[in-house]
Structure 1
Amino acid sequence: MVDAQNEVKKDRPVFRNIGLAQLIHYRLPWAGKVSILHRISGAALFLMLPFLLYLLDQSLASELSYQKFQAITGNIFVKLILLGLIWAFLHHFCAGIRYLLLDLEIGVEKNEANRSAIFVFALGLALTAVVGLKLFGLY
């Protein structure tokens, strides 16, 4: 009986944790990449919430504070931060809709899930580019 259990244990594959050197060569599917970016974008939006509330306060308090708001947002560094936050919001929004559809069991097949992940990634970038053009005054 013990020998039969040992033979079964030997036949099973052994899965070890991925080492740091192996992470470079590991290929994550598009759905996994979008999932990680969804988490990163949500964390970025949460962590930058005080900055966004400060900007909202500066834009609404008075005419003088609105001029201060325009001076702050006129800086190229702040515009790049805002562009990153715009991407985070748009990606998080689009990926959230994708996850709601997956919860309704729409697009759960492997090919459909891969296609929707690529679509969400591209849509987030495209919408960010459009808003970024407006932010930098190019549109």
Structure 2
Amino acid sequence: MSESTSKPRREFRNVDFQLITQKYRLPFAGKVSILHRVSGALLFLSLPLLITVFKESVTSPASFADLGSGFGGFLLKLILLVGLWGFMHHLCAGIRYLTLDLHIGMDKQTAQKSAKIVLCVSLALTFIFAIKLFGAL
């Protein structure tokens, strides 16, 4: 019998065991993708809270004043700021994914650049709204 000479088979290792010994770096576009999902879940799960706060704010002038009274309104402003970040990031990343769906910016360098732009723009917009929300402007 003749023995066949074949290429050595590739070895696939379990990723769970390698995470302890090696560090895997998630690409920047992957981080933006995960943040897009987190911001979408945040927006969806915060809808009942936002609806309740809106309902209480338009009920009467006294209930509107009561909403802003806790911690000098800081707690409500912080909740609104987190919601604003979620909205800004989800909006910017959604526009990025729509352009990717149109096959614009599909190469690696452009995709990495657009991911960085999404994160910078969403954080800058959130910072601008935070300054306005906390009364510095």
Shift of 1:60: 1.7
| Pair 1:54-2:25 in alignment | no
Taking structure 1 as reference, are residues 77 and 102 closer, same or farther at Cα in structure 2, changes over 3 Å only?
same
Task: Please name the residue that 2:68 is paired with.
Answer: 70
**Residues 1:21 and 2:28 aligned together:** no
Distance 1:115 1:12, change over 3 A: same
Partner of 1:34: 32
CA contact (8 A) 1:90 1:127 kept: yes
1:45: which partner in 2? 43
Aligned-partner SS, 2:15 = coil
Q: How many residues align?
A: 134
Cα RMSD of the aligned pairs, angstroms, is 2.2
Q: How far did residue 81 of structure 1 move?
A: 2.3
Q: 1:66 to 1:110 in 2, by over 3 A?
A: same
Matched, 1:90 2:81: no
1:11 aligns with 9
Q: Work out whether 1:123 is the aligned partner of 2:121.
A: yes
Using the size of structure 1 for normalisation, the TM-score is 0.84
For 1:129 and 1:81, the matched residues in 2 are separated by: 14
- Is contact 2:39–2:86 with CA below 8 Å preserved after alignment? yes
Cα distance in structure 2, aligned partners of 1:52 and 1:85: 9
Superposition deviation, residue 78 in structure 1: 2.8
Displacement after TM superposition at 1:83 (Å): 1.3
| Aligned partners of 1:58 and 1:68 also within 8 Å | no
Distance in 1 (alpha carbons) for counterparts of 2:81 and 2:70: 14
Contact 1:45 1:85 in 2 (8 A): yes
User: 1:103-137, CA deviations, whole angstroms, 9 ceiling, x for partnerless residues?
Assistant: 01111110000000000000010000000001111
Larger mean CA deviation between 26-35 and 80-89 belongs to 80-89
Residue 88 of structure 1 aligns to which amino acid in structure 2?
G
Residue 68 to residue 93, structure 1, CA distance change in 2 (3 Å)? same
